[in-house]
């Protein structure tokens, strides 16, 4: 594998940089780089700008709005967006349900949903996990019973990210309780405005409200909202989760965080030299950088293989494991780097309208919530222990 970028790829990088310099709003950059909370409108603004540029869904087939970029171009685009301070695109529409509809949905579903997914006019959430079904997702209990031309859905979903913003939810439901667990699951699209849908917030340890509980009480869903075949939802979920795990690796975001970490470590301290001059910290920093470079190379290999196969393979589990481990190491080193400024965390300082005294350097208020948020990275999207089981079966044949 040639690890050098071609002149054409470097020219593409410059094209992306020029777009970011002219179109990425400065207020979004400021929020992203200082850890200020992003709202629904922030995500919507950035997605709309990419949609208008034609760059919002680079992995989609060109017939449905994809860019036709090579895997290396997709990697460059991701890297440059995070380096410039762009917020991430919430994955539930573009990265998850969109590809499922493209690959398994019917023509009417494609015509109804795909453009609104790309434009960001319709926000989505993912209704997979349940109180008793997280890593063991196939044990889910939410039922959907066909009644004439509609399904009646009853159950509960949890850890549902952005459900309080979402217009629609794609979800797994049990449509046949009398067969093997994986064989009785279907993939359903639910309008969040439907009677019987209730969203309750879950406030996480970092003080954020991004996840929720969703209760479904006799929710009526048109039968036409079934994606693909009845009782084949587990196959579609495996396809979707492979895409999710690839995105969770977050190479571009980790590289941007690593640059921030080095900037923090270069700040001269009141009682001594900058932390980056400490040999022990240098050693930890060097090891992390090597691990991140290795992950980046692995990611590019996976992208090339994905392009050939048309879907992610088991390597997506490797990316998820190592990517989240590196994210956690980054957050730990960041806490060490800010030192005492990690302690007096004032949550209100993360709001855009904060007008109080600065809490240490500009970057300091964001370090503690960043650290707390990353504690769960090895769990969401399928815990790392589950990913090792996936690899043992798919790669080692155990």
User: Do both 149 and 63 map to the same domain?
Assistant: no
CA dist., res. 111 & res. 273, Å (int):
60
Q: Confirm whether 29 is domain-assigned.
A: yes
Under the banding of pLDDT at 50, 70 and 90, the label for residue 161 is very high
Compute the distance between CA of residue 370 and CA of residue 109 in angstroms, rounded to an integer: 38
Q: How many CB atoms lie within 10 A of CB 218?
A: 11
CA 171 – CA 126 distance, rounded (Å): 6
Please check whether residue 374 is in contact with residue 330, taking contact to mean a CB–CB distance below 8 angstroms.
yes
Token reading at 387: 């990913």
Q: Are residues 220 and 257 in the same domain?
A: no
Which residue, of 205, 231, 257, is where some domain finishes? 231
Q: Are 157 and 134 in contact, with CB atoms under 8 Å apart? A: no
Is 242 inside a domain boundary? Answer: no
The single-letter DSSP state of residue 165 is T
Rounded CA gap, 249 and 71, in Å? 15
**Is residue 236 in a domain?**
no
Last residue of a domain, one of 231, 264, 287: 231
- Summarised one tens digit per residue, pLDDT across range 380-393 is 777 878 778 877 87
141: containing domain: 124-231
Residue 75 lies in a domain: yes
Domain assignment present for residue 281? The answer is yes
* 370 and 290 within one domain: yes
DSSP lists the bridge partners of residue 71 as none
CATH code of residue 350: 1.20.140.10
Q: Active-site residue among 244, 257, 296, 306?
A: 244
What gap in Å lies between CA 344 and CA 366, rounded to an integer?
Answer: 11
3-state helix, strand, coil in the chain (%, to 5): 55, 15, 30
What whole-number distance in Å separates Cα of residue 49 and Cα of residue 19? 10
Task: Let me know if residue 116 belongs to a domain.
Answer: no
What pLDDT is stored for residue 359 in this prediction? 46
Structure tokens at 284: 């930890």
Same domain, 19 and 136: no
Distance of CA 94 to CAs 50, 151, 181, 256, 345, Å? 12, 26, 28, 22, 34
pLDDT exceeds cutoff 80 at 264: yes
126 contact partners, CB below 8 Å, separation of at least 6: 92, 96, 97, 160, 161, 169, 170, 171
Mean pLDDT over each residue of the chain, to the nearest integer: 88
**260 and 199 co-located in one domain:** no
288-327 residues labelled b (16+ CB within 10 A) or e (exposed): beeebeebbebbbebbeebeeeeebbbbbbbbbbbbbebb
Positive/negative CA dihedral, 290, 292, 298, 301: negative
pLDDT for 343 beyond 90? no
CA 77 from chain centre, in angstroms, equals 16
Same domain as 144, residue 80:
no
Q: Do both 344 and 383 map to the same domain?
A: yes
Same-domain pairing of 386 and 304: yes
Instruction: For residue 244, indicate whether it is catalytic.
Output: yes
Number of domains in the chain: 3
**Residue 224, token pair as written in the block:** 């036409």
Q: pLDDT digits over 325-335, tens only?
A: 999 999 899 88
Say yes or no: 256 and 360 in one domain. Answer: yes
Which region holds residue 28: left if phi is over 0, alpha if psi is between -120 and 50, else beta?
Answer: alpha
Handedness of CA 185, 190, 195, 196 (dihedral sign): positive
Could you tell me if residue 240 is inside a domain?
no
167 and 85 both lie in a single domain: no
CATH code of the domain in which 150 resides = 2.40.110.10
Mean pLDDT of 171-191: 95
Residue 106 pLDDT greater than 70, yes or no: yes
Q: pTM (2 decimals)? A: 0.85
Q: Is residue 322 part of a domain?
A: yes
Residue 69 Cα distances to 3, 72, 143, angstroms: 18, 8, 40
- pLDDT, average across residues 193-210: 93
Q: What is the pLDDT of residue 350?
A: 65
Domain check: are 67 and 152 in the same one?
no
For the chain, the residue count is 398
- How many Cα atoms occupy the beta-carbon half-sphere of 126 within 13 Å? 24
Is there a single domain that holds both residue 30 and residue 151?
no
Output DSSP code: residue 272: B
- Domain-terminating residue out of 72, 89, 106: 89
Radius of gyration of the chain (CA): 22
- Selection from 168, 63, 171 nearest residue 111 by Cα: 63
Q: What is the pLDDT of residue 33?
A: 80
């Amino acid at each position: 594998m040639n690890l050098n970028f071609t002149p054409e790829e470097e020219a593409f990088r410059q094209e992306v940089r020029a777009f970011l310099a002219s179109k990425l709003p400065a207020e979004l950059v400021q929020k992203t780089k200082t850890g200020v909370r992003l709202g629904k409108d922030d995500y919507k603004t950035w997605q709309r700008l990419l949609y208008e540029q034609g760059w919002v869904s680079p992995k989609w087939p060109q017939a449905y709005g994809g860019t036709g970029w090579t895997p290396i171009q997709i990697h460059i685009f991701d890297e440059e967006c995070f380096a410039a301070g762009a917020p991430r695109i919430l994955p539930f529409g573009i990265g998850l349900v969109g590809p499922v509809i493209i690959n398994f949905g019917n023509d009417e579903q494609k015509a109804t949903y795909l453009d609104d997914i790309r434009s960001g006019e319709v926000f989505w959430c993912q209704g997979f996990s349940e109180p008793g079904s997280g890593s063991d997702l196939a044990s889910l209990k939410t039922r959907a019973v066909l009644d004439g031309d509609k399904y009646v859905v009853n159950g509960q979903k949890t850890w549902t990210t952005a459900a309080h913003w979402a217009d629609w939810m794609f979800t797994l439901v049990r449509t046949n309780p009398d067969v093997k667990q994986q064989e009785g699951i279907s993939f359903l699209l639910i309008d969040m405005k439907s009677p019987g849908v209730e969203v309750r917030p879950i406030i996480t340890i970092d003080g954020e409200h991004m996840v929720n509980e969703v209760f479904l009480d006799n929710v009526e869903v048109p039968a036409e909202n079934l994606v693909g075949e009845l009782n084949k939802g587990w196959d579609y979920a495996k396809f979707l989760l492979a895409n999710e795990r690839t995105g969770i690796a977050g190479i571009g975001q980790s590289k941007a965080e690593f640059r921030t970490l080095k900037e923090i470590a270069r700040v001269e301290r009141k009682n001594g030299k900058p932390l980056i001059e400490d040999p022990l910290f240098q050693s930890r920093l060097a090891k992390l950088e090597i691990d991140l470079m290795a992950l980046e190379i692995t990611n590019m290999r996976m992208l090339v293989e994905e392009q050939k196969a048309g879907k992610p393979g088991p390597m997506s589990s490797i990316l998820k494991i190592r990517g989240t481990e590196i994210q956690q190491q980054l957050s730990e080193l960041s806490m060490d780097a800010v030192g005492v400024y990690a302690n007096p965390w004032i949550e209100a300082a993360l709001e855009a309208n904060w007008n109080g005294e600065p809490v240490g350097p500009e970057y300091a208020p964001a370090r503690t919530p960043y650290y707390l948020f990353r504690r769960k990275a090895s769990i969401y999207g399928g815990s790392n222990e589950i990913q090792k089981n996936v690899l043992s079966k798919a790669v080692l044949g155990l």
